[in-house]
Structure formats: structure tokens, C-alpha cells
Amino acid sequence: MISERFIEYYREHFFQEDEKWLQDFLTALASPLLKSFRIDETKKSKESVLDSLKKQWYLPYATNIPNVFTFDRIPDFNPFERRLGFSLEHLLGYIYIQELAAAHSVHVLSDWKVHHDNFLILDMASSPGWKTTQLAEQYPESFIIANEPTRERIPQILQNLDRMGSSNIAVTLYPWQFFSSTPEVFDRILLDAPCSWEGTVFKTFDAVKNWHIKNIKTIARLQEKLISAACTSLKVGWEMIYSTCTLNLLENEWVLESIEKNFPGCFEITFEKKYWPHIDGTWGFFVSKIKKLQSVVSKQTFPPKSINSDIFPIGKQDIQHIEWFFDTEDIWGYDFFRYKNKILAVRGGKNAEYARNNFYCMRFWEEIANIQDGVYKWTHFAGKKLYSSKIPEYKIEWSEEALDEYLRWWNLKVDTVIRWYVNLYFENERIGLDFIQDDGTLSNLFPPQWRRK
Ligand SMILES: C[S@@+](CC[C@H](N)C(=O)[O-])C[C@H]1O[C@@H](n2cnc3c(N)ncnc32)[C@H](O)[C@@H]1O
């Protein structure tokens, strides 16, 4: 299954002396791994998410990243039970299923800390958004441009951003060349590059079955261009990450060497680590951190433009509606915009405004209301982020069946005289905003794309 050319390359470059070590590597590379998930502690405490998952027969194991856990199911669990991806914890964005080694890139960038500065951050190759949403957790007051040049991969990232409720992230669709023309505007950059996926053999042998050095060189040439564009885009004095899920020298060490060749003396590699399946027990992964020491452009050539002009700050009437409905302390920190009949909420301060003026954004918001004939229809996203103590709480007695009906969009009839918005709870778990219709059924504001099938 694994190409002889691949084995020969690894024998020559990494395992010259030790055939057993090579065999250990090849065996580990193809062996199944425990899956892992990350808990977004800005939403829910680690303890309560873990307690709830344990009640659903998951066995979580701690890792070297405090909010990342590998997991198993108890040995005799029913294989027909729903997977973790369909759990309420996942739907409400408390967890993100993410591979352990890949979870390191963002921590290396943030020095394992949460930063409350207002940075402008570029995630240059972002779909499906594992690391973008992780950036939003480590940099909650920053504004993040999640770029993804492959149009077909945009729906995945949009869905993940909605599920995680990320309101400080815009999605753009630029080719890499664009970032060569935005010199020194980003405070942090993550380049999780397209690569040959050698590290993910345990999922599919595709990466190594027809492995050829010629193909690796082609990818490495693209990676060199991407990293050069990122080097140009980064502000002086700040840092960026280059990571791949592959292990060969050309796509990793050699790409880093190209920085010195293209920008001599301007950058310093401050961190470099390869995760090997037979050593680290993860998939194959490479993370490096690069600091910009000197400018690489003669002058700033990225004048502010005014694009996304159909998105503009809301007027007085919209402000009054929001302030009337939601609690003041919850609104704090958001800027609100109008796009046609929608009200959008954005976090990220001056950098969100900069992004609105300078990048064509496919998503620059969370839609919190839709105005129909002068009536403000508040959305699920509004209820997820903003709380209204004006509206009543409505608790549905917890049962897996009731929740299942709700998530399948069946008409859930509720026993109350309320016919308005409610803060909906399943027992003590706040689901968000919902609306009870005249016939006593919930209108279910939960996004239809998350419907349980
Ligand atoms: C390793 S994946 C990114 C995974 C993502 N960072 C995450 O953590 O969820 C690499 C991404 O690069 C994108 N890509 C492909 N060609 C590219 C190019 N020329 N410039 C930038 N990104 C590219 C792919 O579509 C893919 O989504």
C-alpha cells in the first residue's frame, strides 16, 4: 500500500542507521489513532463538558494541551448510538473535534496564552476552520481574516464558524498572490499550508500509494510562494506560523530555508517541531514559528479602499431595537451593521472596520436579526451570543427524545401560555433563543443546516 519510493526516501533522509525505527514509523503511520476534541472554555467550563460527555459513555483522556482530550467509548457501548459530532455539546459549539498534533499550531503562535489585544490576524489557508476557531479562542478581541481560495471548501468553514458562534472572523476567497500585495498589515499570520498529507496515512493511503518526489517538489514550490506572500504581509516585529501535516524535508525545512534565500536577514525561525507518529503518538505534523525582524518592502502600498460598501453601520432605529431587546452588558464589545434587511453583529473593533474597508468578505458577521415589514425577527445567533432578561425562560424537561425531536425539526409542542420569544433550556442547558407560535409549537430557530438526520 505504501509506495517503495516513499519508504526509500524516509530510509535515506531520516532512518539511515535504523531499519527497526523505520518499520516502527511505517506501522505507526498507518495505525488508527484515538480521536480528539478541543473544549472552547470561553463558552462552558471544561469540567461540565467532560461530566456531560462521561454520562454519554465517552472516555476522555487528558493530553499535553489543557483543553484538548483524546477520547474513546466505553468498551460495550452501542455502536448505533450517535457519534460525538451529533452530540448537543458539538452542536452548541462547546467542542470541536480536532487532531491533537494539529491543535499545537495556534498554541505555538499564542505562546499558550489568551491575548486580549486587538490584533489583525490572517489565517491564510483556513478551511474547514479547526485552527481559525481556535485562533478566535486564543485571541478573542482580535479580528481574523479566514482566507480559503478553494471555493468548494467555503461551506465547511462557514458552517463551523456558525456552529462555534465566531463573531470576530471574516471569510475571504483570495488566491495566495493577493497577500503579496498587502504588505505589512497583519499582526499575526497562520499558514497551515496545503501539503501532501503524508502524516494522515492512517485515514487514507492516497498520500503515499503513488508517492513521487516530483509531486512533492511541485507542492513545495507552491508552499514557497505562499510563505513568501505571508512574509510580505506580516508586520515587522511580529510572528507567524508555518505548519503542514506532512513530514518530508521539501515541504517543511526547505520551505523555511527559502525564507532566508528570498529575504536575507529579515526573519528568524524561533520554533520548529515535527510530530512523529511512532514517537508522539499523533499523526505526522510539522509546526514552525517565524519572527519578522526587518521590513521587506520599500514602502507601504496598501491604501485603504472602501469595499463591502453595502454593509454599513446601523442607524438609530436599529440601535434602539437592539438596546430594548438585549441586556446592555451583553451588547458591549459588538459593532452592529446593516446589510439589506439584516442586522449583523461583529467583534474586533478597529480591525473589523479595517477589514470591512479593505477585503471582500464572504462573511463578516453573525446575522442577529432579519427585518420583515418592520418587524425584527431575532435569530438563533442573536440568542446564542446576547442575552435578554426581558424575555421569559422556558425549560423543557430533559429527555433524549424531546431533544432529538427538537434537533430533527419536528414540531415540538410545549406546555405554556407564552406566545413570544423564550430563552430555551433543556433542563439546565441553554440552547438559545426560540419563539413559541400561536399554536404552541416552537418555531425552532436552530439553523436548519444543523438538522439531525
Ligand atoms: C491543511 S488545509 C487547512 C486546514 C485548516 N487550516 C484547518 O485547520 O482547518 C490547507 C488548505 O489550503 C487550501 N489551499 C489550496 N491551495 C491553496 C493556495 N494556493 N493558497 C492558499 N490555500 C490553498 C486548501 O483548499 C485547504 O483548505
Domain count, the chain: 4
Q: Which residue among 63, 97, 131 closes a domain?
A: 97
Of the listed ranges 48-52, 335-339, 393-397, the one predicted with least confidence? 393-397
CA distances 9 to 4, 436, 441, Å, are 9, 64, 63
| Predicted local confidence at residue 332, as pLDDT | 87
Residue 212 lies in a domain: yes
Query: 258 and 120 share a domain?
Result: yes
Dig out the grid coordinates for 104 from the structure. Answer: 499545537
Query: 362 and 335 share a domain?
Result: yes
| Predicted local confidence at residue 414, as pLDDT | 87
266 given a catalytic annotation: no
Q: What is the pLDDT of residues 334-360, one digit of tens each?
A: 999 999 999 999 998 899 999 998 999
Question: Ligand 1, atom 19: nearest CA belongs to which residue?
Answer: 176
From the list 121, 165, 125, the residue with the least C-alpha distance to 145 is 121
- Any ligand 1 atom below 6 A from CB of 199: no
Query: 240 and 190 share a domain?
Result: yes
Pocket probe for ligand 1: among 104, 127, 151, the residue whose CB has the most ligand atoms within 8 Å is: 127
Atom of ligand 1 nearest to the CA of 195: 1
Contact 105, 241 (CB under 8 A): yes
| Predicted local confidence at residue 304, as pLDDT | 64
Of the listed ranges 5-19, 372-386, 388-402, the one predicted with least confidence? 388-402
Query: 227 and 362 share a domain?
Result: no
- Any ligand 1 atom below 6 A from CB of 218: no
Query: 325 and 439 share a domain?
Result: no
Dig out the grid coordinates for 185 from the structure. Answer: 498589515
CA angle 384, 388, 392 (to 5 degrees): 105
Q: What is the dihedral of CA 107, 112, 117, 122, to 10 degrees?
A: -10
**Global confidence as pTM:** 0.94
Q: For 321-345, what is the mean pLDDT?
A: 92
| Predicted local confidence at residue 383, as pLDDT | 87
What residues does 202 pair with on adjacent strands?
none
- Any ligand 1 atom below 6 A from CB of 174: no
> Order of strands across the sheet with 68-73?
58-62, 68-73, 35-39, 95-97
Structural domain containing residue 317: 311-385
Query: 157 and 233 share a domain?
Result: yes
- Any ligand 1 atom below 6 A from CB of 153: yes
Query: 325 and 443 share a domain?
Result: no
Q: Which residue among 368, 385, 402 closes a domain?
A: 385
Q: How far apart are CA 425 and CA 421, in angstroms?
A: 13
| Predicted local confidence at residue 81, as pLDDT | 60
Residue 157 lies in a domain: yes
Write the CATH number for 360: 3.10.450.720
For residue 173, report the distance from its CA to the centre of ligand 1, in Å: 11
Residue 171 lies in a domain: yes
| Catalytic choice (195, 231, 245, 361) | 245
- Any ligand 1 atom below 6 A from CB of 60: no
Q: For 223-229, what is the mean pLDDT?
A: 98
Q: How far apart are CA 384 and CA 379, in angstroms?
A: 9
Query: 183 and 238 share a domain?
Result: yes
For residue 149, report the distance from its CA to the centre of ligand 1, in Å: 8
Q: How far apart are CA 203 and CA 102, in angstroms?
A: 15
Q: What is the pLDDT of residues 268-301, one digit of tens each?
A: 999 999 999 999 999 999 999 999 999 998 776 6
Contact 271, 288 (CB under 8 A): yes
| Predicted local confidence at residue 286, as pLDDT | 98
pLDDT greater than 60 at residue 119 = yes
From the list 173, 168, 165, the residue with the least C-alpha distance to 450 is 165
| Predicted local confidence at residue 201, as pLDDT | 82
Contact 87, 426 (CB under 8 A): no
Write the CATH number for 405: 2.30.130
For residue 177, report the distance from its CA to the centre of ligand 1, in Å: 14
- Any ligand 1 atom below 6 A from CB of 93: no
Type of residue at 79: P
Dig out the grid coordinates for 389 from the structure. Answer: 432578561
Query: 274 and 157 share a domain?
Result: yes
Q: What is the pLDDT of residues 170-208, one digit of tens each?
A: 999 999 999 998 999 999 999 999 999 998 887 778 888
Query: 162 and 200 share a domain?
Result: yes
Dig out the grid coordinates for 417 from the structure. Answer: 401560555
Write the CATH number for 167: 3.40.50.150
Type of residue at 117: D
Mean pLDDT over all residues of the chain?
Answer: 91
Query: 244 and 337 share a domain?
Result: no
Query: 379 and 403 share a domain?
Result: no
Write the CATH number for 86: 3.30.70.1170
Contact 88, 60 (CB under 8 A): no
Beta-strand pair 95-97/58-62: unpaired
